[in-house]
Amino acid sequence: MGILNWGFRANVKVHQSSKAYDLPLKSNKEDSISFTDFVRKEIPTLDESKKLWLHPLLFNGALQTLYYTSVDSIAKFPVYYGRETFEYKDQGTCSLDWAIPKPESKEEFKKLHDETLPEDSPKLHPRTRFFSEQELAERKKHGQDVGSEKPIAVVLHGLCGGSHEPLIRNFVETINSHVNGWDVLVVNNRGCCRTKITSAKLFNALSTDDVKDVLHELKKRYPSRPIYAVGFSFGACILANFLGDPNHSEEDHNLIRAAALIGCPWDLVDSCYHLQQSYSGNYLFNPALTTYLQKLVKNNYKTLSSFSPDVFTDDLYREFMKPKTTVEFDNVYTCHSAGFSNAMDYYREASPVRRIGNIKTPTLILNSTDDPTISVRLPKLEVLENPYLAMIETDLGGHLSYAKRSGDFWSVELVEEFFTKFDKVVA
């Protein structure tokens, strides 16, 4: 995006297939609406005839992205979480952060935080505590809430993120203020958001089995509750790969009722080059991402090396402290822990554009062509061939941000409206 395109009023384009995918209506199950018509008629936030007005001082993608990375989400979006540790089938672990109501007493919340924090646990982010054993027993009870149709919104975070991210906290706050009865669950990947690593496996773009394990557990606990899923950035990459997995069973396809992919890096090879070609990407965002990844390994090196001494060696560890780019890090660690010989092989195989044609879940996609961190060559032709997809393209918004004058994020409004309208209209 050139300097002549800078501004604060974005153009919005909707790309959808002309093929019909019909959705039954709750008002009359014998009647239906195509997914194309649903997106264009039931989501007033989307209006191609109008400009999208964003923050006037954040007039290009780099500034939008810098705002997103610097906003104090803890103060601006004061949401609370209860945490449980979830074990995958391979004995790896993630943290499930459930949005919980604001406590009546901050002192009581702190007391519960101190009582439930495991001795070996890192310090949690503010307004987050572990559930008590009694609370966990209730949540882990399989088959509970039979017949309940209270929706669950599952959130997959970005590469360096977790439930503390501003976009995620804004999403939780927006859901809680606009609708009653929804649960929001953030899946914090292995090692992320102060989650301890308990196996040799790092999370990567092909960690679709991790997503599947969590979703199947939710279905066992709450068999009648619809699940909606949103992925942000790298989380969108993992979610897209999950949705498009060609080996899915019919049960797997039915786990998620509708999905949203925000700032998805569709082509990881192209995203790698794109990140290094702009000043902000090369000198700001790439080093910041790499530093986070280095910290993740450094904090968990003893565990990683004990489970996989061939990959996490002392020699590689010394080398790993040198990289200043994500591709260098991925070439040292991620590709090998994921079973690839080098980073580019991993990027090619893990790019969700390879699986976009297999997605059979109604999915809303949002990408900005001024994104400084991921590829802006969007898979529009592939979208036009798949009636389950709706791609929203903008020319301002940066990576994930879409910050408005208020400091809130337009992308959150879009996803919240898509999910709640889908749940209200579609049978």
Helix (H) or strand (E) holding 12: strand 12-16
Q: Which residues pair with 130 in a beta bridge?
A: 83
**SS3 (DSSP) at 213:** helix
Q: Which of 232, 233, 188 is nearest to 214 (CA)?
A: 188
The per-residue DSSP string of 330-369 comes to: IIIIIHHHTT-SSHHHHHHHH-GGGTGGG--S-EEEEEET
Residue 233 bears catalytic tag: yes
Q: Which of 172, 8, 194 is nearest to 94 (CA)?
A: 194
User: How many residues does this entry show for the chain?
Assistant: 427
**SS3 (DSSP) at 218:** helix
Residue 371 bears catalytic tag: yes
**SS3 (DSSP) at 26:** coil
Q: How many Å is the Cα radius of gyration of the chain? A: 21
Q: Find the catalytic residue in 371, 395, 408, 423.
A: 371
Helices and strands in the chain: count of H runs, count of E runs: 19, 14
Q: Find the catalytic residue in 17, 163, 233, 401.
A: 233
Q: Find the catalytic residue in 55, 248, 274, 399.
A: 399
352: its two tokens: 């969700």
Q: Which of 227, 202, 243 is nearest to 93 (CA)?
A: 202
- C-alpha distances in angstroms, 413 versus 58, 167, 221, 409? 19, 11, 29, 7
Residue 308 bears catalytic tag: no
d(CA 241, CA 234): 11
List active site positions: 233, 371, 399
